[in-house]
Amino acid sequence: MSPESLYIAEQEYFRFEEIMNTKEYLTKEEYDFCFSYDKDIREDMFYIGDYSKLGDYLNLRVYSEQAHHEAVLQMEIGG
């Protein structure tokens, strides 16, 4: 493997890890990138489409139902 191709592969890995470990919502482009990198991500994704303006896919690796409910509660009580 040439140094250039090794660098590109490393950058793709870092991008994949950043998206999958930090982003709760993924755009179609981010999902396609991650899916092309690792087909098994479909087990960790939930398609939400137009339901959210934040992205088309919910990343179940980082989504927290408790955090979601706390945020909704804070919005309801005006906090």
| DSSP category for residue 53 | S
CB 48 within 8 Å of CB 57? yes
Q: How many helices (H) and strands (E) does the chain have?
A: 3, 3
pLDDT tens-digit series, residues 21-76 = 999 999 999 999 999 999 999 999 999 998 888 899 999 998 777 677 777 888 88
Question: What pLDDT is recorded for position 36?
Answer: 97
